[in-house]
């Protein structure tokens, strides 16, 4: 089964989200984060990811849902999308695309689709529009 047909499901503030597994480079349990001077508060810091400085976006804070509970996990996006890691609360697991029962159009920015899985609803994040929104918010603050 290809990586594109699988979903990495994670939680943020009691809601479940997903990324296509092919959009993920790696999931990290813990990393040393260093502050980014004058960065917006939704950046948790910057880390060394295999020799490359990679900013870490606190997804809960960026989605205006408060800060993530606990230290959580870091989902590093594929470099073809962006040099960015996403701090999430918990990784639920990897699910085959065949588990999708229904798809609905999103009502939120940065969400590609609402997916109905056997265990409930999952919001499929569009990482390209997420990165574009991060850049837009940074440019507004300059």
Q: What is the pTM of this model?
A: 0.91
Domain ranges of the chain: 3-141
> Over the stretch 66-94, which tens digit does the pLDDT of each residue have?
666 666 899 999 999 999 999 999 999 99
Stretch 23-38: mean pLDDT, rounded? 93
Q: Please determine, looking at this structure, whether the domain spanning 3-141 carries the CATH number 2.40.50.180.
A: yes
Return the C-alpha torsion angle 57, 49, 92, 136, nearest 10.
Answer: 20
Residues 42-60 as b or e (16 or more Cβ within 10 Å = b)? bbbbbbebeeeebbbbbbb
pLDDT category of residue 13 using cuts at 50, 70 and 90? confident
């Amino acid at each position: 089964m290809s990586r594109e047909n699988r979903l990495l499901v994670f939680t943020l503030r009691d809601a479940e989200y997903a990324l296509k597994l092919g959009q993920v480079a790696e999931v990290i349990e813990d990393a040393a984060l260093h502050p980014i001077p004058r960065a917006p508060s939704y950046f948790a810091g910057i880390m060394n990811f295999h020799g490359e400085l990679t900013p870490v976006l606190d997804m809960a804070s960026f989605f205006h849902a408060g800060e993530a509970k606990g230290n959580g996990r870091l989902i590093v996006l594929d470099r073809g999308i962006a040099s960015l890691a996403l701090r999430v609360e918990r990784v639920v697991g990897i699910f085959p695309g065949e588990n999708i029962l229904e798809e609905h159009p999103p009502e939120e920015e940065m969400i590609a689709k609402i997916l109905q899985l056997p265990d409930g609803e999952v919001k499929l994040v569009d990482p390209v529009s997420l990165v574009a929104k991060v850049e837009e918010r940074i440019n507004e603050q300059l």
